[in-house]
Structure formats: structure tokens, C-alpha cells
Amino acid sequence: MKKIYKTAFIAMTSLVMLAACGNAGAKTNATGVKDEKGKAVTELDSEGFNNKVYDMTLDETIYLGDKPAIVDFTASWCGPCQRIAPTLESLAKEYDGKIVVYKVDVDKERELAKAFNVSSIPAVLYIPTGDGEPVMTIGSRDAATFRKEIETILLGNKE
């Protein structure tokens, strides 16, 4: 009987340590931006979204960034969301200096998801600068499709 308790204790301790280590280095700073070292995609909470993308407290929606942006509405439990995350990370690095890529956890930021009528995920919002209209896409995509949408919607390059 003692062996079972010892095994259970070791297993529980390991899980606690794993959870603690999984969150190491990922802290939300005062501007609502989750600081994930080495990541090209920036996680935003509602405060960060209001500071970097759209100020949702205003009546009009004016994009606040100086580069075109992608906002990935995602959740940790969503399989398709997790499959596109590495692709978006790679594209954020590839297009570094040309676009910015953000992600918003819909479970933590329900009001933001509601404001953009996100009812199915993954949902990806493309926000061009200038006169371009934002475009919301729903569903998983491969890198080639993302690249094509970045080029046409965000960077204005014709096919």
C-alpha cells in the first residue's frame, strides 16, 4: 500500500512541476502582451488588443498598428488551432518587418471573440493598413494558403 502512495505522490509532484515549467518565461506585461521568449507570434489579452490592434472602448474601429496584422483567434483545446500555430509562427518570422502576427485565446478573452463574431475556430483576422478592409477567415489552412492570403490581403500583391 505504501508503494502506491509513493508512486501517486511522485506522479502528482511531476505534474505540478511540469505545469509550472510549461508556463515559465510566459508572463503578461503591463501592456497586456504575453511575453513568450523567442516567439514571433505575440499573445494578446484584451488590454494588449486595445493598445496594439483596435481600441474596443471607442465607437469607431481604427487599426492602431503601423504594419498589416494577422490576429489568430485560438484555444488550447482546439486541434486545428494547434496545427496552424507552428505555420503562423514560421510565417511571422518569414514576414518579419512586413507584418505582425497576434493570437487571442478565445477562452480567456470571450468579449473580444464576441466582438468579432467568432463562433468557430480557428478564426484568422487579416488587417491591412490604409484603406484595405479587414477579412476574417474560418478554418485550418496550409502554409501556401496563408502565404497567398498574406500577399493579396495584407501586402496588396496581385496574383
Residues identified as active-site: 78, 81
- Cell numbers given for 141: 489552412
Q: Which long-range contacts (CB under 8 A, 24 or more apart) does 147-150 make?
A: 147/91, 150/70, 150/91, 150/95, 150/99, 150/126
125 closest CA partner among 85, 71, 46? 71
Q: Which residue do the cell numbers 488551432 mark?
A: 81
Task: Output the CA torsion sign for 144, 147, 153, 157.
Answer: negative
Check if the beta carbon of residue 102 is closer than 8 Å to that of residue 40.
Answer: no
- Provide the 3-class DSSP secondary structure of residue 125: strand
